[in-house]
Amino acid sequence: MPDNTDHYIKPEQAVTLHGLFLERVQRTPDNVAYRYFDMHREAWLSLTWAQMRDQVARWQALLLRENLAAGDRVAVMLRNCPQWVMFEQAAMSLGLVVVPLYVVDRPDNIAYIVNDAQAKVLLFETAEQWQALRTVSGQLGCVQRFISLEKISVTNDQRLQCADEWLPAQAALQPERERKRDSLATIMYTSGTTGKPKGVMLSHHNIVYNAYAGLLTFPTGKDDCMLSFLPLSHAFERTAGYYMPMMAGFAVAYARSIPLLADDLKIIRPTILVAVPRIYERIYNAIHAKLEGVTPLQHKLFTLAVDIGWDRFEYQQGRGAWMPRLLLWPVLKALVADKVMGRLGGRLRLSISGGAALPPKVSRLFIALGLPLVQGYGMTETSPVVSVNCIENNRPSTVGQPLQGITVRIGEQNALLVKGPCNMLGYWNNLEATAAIVDQDGWLNTGDTASIGDSGHITITGRLKEIIVMSNGEKVPPADMEAAIQRDRLFDQVMVHGEGHPALVVLAVVNPEQWQAFAQQVGVRADMPESLCDTRIEQQVLQRIAGQIREFPGFAKVRRVLLLTEPWSIENGMLTPTLKLKRSQVAVRFANEIEQLYQGR
């Protein structure tokens, strides 16, 4: 808990998300709000809060032309950039409901979401995105206006307008149309476990309260700077990387791209970083790749720095005893730790991981080398943060303690239940799904199993339903994917794997007759064991799998496949007596092969 939170905008002062923006503009109009890279000028530029207000006024005037009523939905499909904020704030000032879309999603999935929400305006960025949207334009009849940031010269759709031509040169910001804290602010679509995406309805107060409660966990000041790179269409980034900085008054810099993240960290030198485990894993893997080329002495120094750094962390947390070798830390810090932290900009004083479980080996390395890294837990349905560790009471194997005002308990089958002001209003147009997750007393069943320690720290132990959580935080229902893949007669048995990994792989037992014909068609001998891992075979099999899983979200792609001829059975321990797949047994039996699939990427 920070000593002084007076500079935070409190929920009762903000009331709504647009009220939060207006309060920030009033308090610090000349402070830098956002930094971004201008592709045309090839330079990093800044916008103050006063400049953002003037831009929001232009977007507000644009939306006023569309004659939309309070409660109407508008969709935004942009990469992280100031225009994302401008458009949303303008929309919310008019009482409109914002529906974020992922820029990498498939057109048919976008069409489903836009139709389900009945969005009347859709803002996107590039001509490439327009080409994708045109393939489903017949399914987007509810959209009365498409707005592009890029100039698109050739189009026969009268609904399309370029933002530069449609925005007025200047405008005065009109007063907020309505300021009701419990009104619907946004519908965020989550894939959930099965079926079509579900629209999570979040109120202004849901998010404003979550942002404030999150800030009470960490001391932040106006001199802090956050590098934003997770998509703003993700609830974690939207609350932690957009509303929290606005509430606390520090600047956000938008990274150019994930491939350029290493460069942007050194340029921006952020003090706060919010990421999913996959980002920390990338840096971890890069560090270990570099270690392969160092001398034995350098390798020993690195290992010693991690070991002593961890002992130092445990001592600082009050869980370990002081020992003489801790006196070596200043030397190891200068020789090892500072160089690693320099790759992250050298100024990080808070780093948060969420969206999926952080591998212990990864958190241990970074914490040991001096990165203040904490893990949290949440879901879109809880706006999204439920719990987080704090710097002075950090138990890396847990997801921390609940935020202020949020209550948790363990329900039937050890399910983690959550109650508080951040629980969603419900699923859009889906009373049945809402009733299945929130009971009459307001307890929301997260679907995760957990335990709660004496200190109040939550440990996630598993999931009630078999859901794969990838290292980027995306969730995949394996049983549904497996059923879809098995529609292809080449496969008798299938298991999708990817827990904690950045990509999905498939283990598949082939049908003997179908395999013979398929191998002959490709031009390999089916009776030769090496034919199962022939690159030509794998490429064609991946194409067949992709054809079967088209209806799944774009992130649910299978990158590698392991083909097998021996069926999984009760006898060899791979099936239960009721013929259900023992996933953990299959994963253990083929652990080496699975590891090789990921290394082979």
> What pLDDT sits at residue 553?
82
Structure tokens at 449: 């199993």
pTM for the predicted model, two decimal places: 0.83
Does residue 277 contact residue 356 with C-beta atoms inside 8 Å? yes
Q: For residues 71 and 184, is the Cβ–Cβ distance under 8 A? A: yes
Report the alpha-carbon distance of residue 139 to residue 114 in Å, rounded: 9
CATH number of this structure's domain 277-463: 3.40.50.12780
Confidence (pLDDT) at 193: 38
Q: Which fold has domain 15-180+216-220?
A: Rossmann fold (3.40.50)
pLDDT in tens, 233-256: 989 999 999 999 999 999 999 999
Q: Identify the pLDDT of residue 572.
A: 84
Residues 209, 404: Cα–Cα separation, whole Å? 10
Nearest Cα neighbor of 23 from 6, 33, 9, 4 is 9
For the chain, percent of residues with pLDDT exceeding 90: 75
**Lowest mean pLDDT segment, chosen from 8-17, 192-201, 504-513:** 192-201
More confident residue, 389 or 465: 389
Q: Residue type for 366, please?
A: F
Cα separation, 267 vs 249, whole angstroms = 21
| Structural domain boundaries in the chain | 15-180+216-220, 277-463, 468-599
pLDDT tier, 577 (very low <50, low <70, confident <90, very high otherwise): very low
Answer yes or no: same fold for 15-180+216-220 and 468-599. no
pLDDT digits (tens, 9 = 90+) for 188-215: 998 643 457 899 999 999 999 999 999 9
Closest to 367 in 3D by CA, of 343, 388, 350: 350
Q: What DSSP assignment string belongs to 515-552?
A: HHHHHHHHTS-TTSGGGGG-HHHHHHHHHHHHHHSTTS
pLDDT value at position 192?
Answer: 45
Quote the CA–CA distance of 68 and 94 in Å, as a whole number.
8
pLDDT greater than 50 at residue 388: yes
Mean pLDDT for the stretch of residues 365-380: 96
* Alpha-carbon gap, residue 393 to 375, rounded angstroms: 12
The tens digit of pLDDT for each residue in 127-174 reads 999 999 999 999 999 999 999 999 998 778 899 999 999 999 999 999
What's the average model confidence in pLDDT over 469-478?
A: 84
Instruction: Please state, rounded to an integer, the average pLDDT across all residues of the chain.
Output: 92
At residue 593 the predicted structure's pLDDT band, cuts being 50, 70 and 90, is very high
Q: Which class is 468-599 in CATH?
A: alpha beta
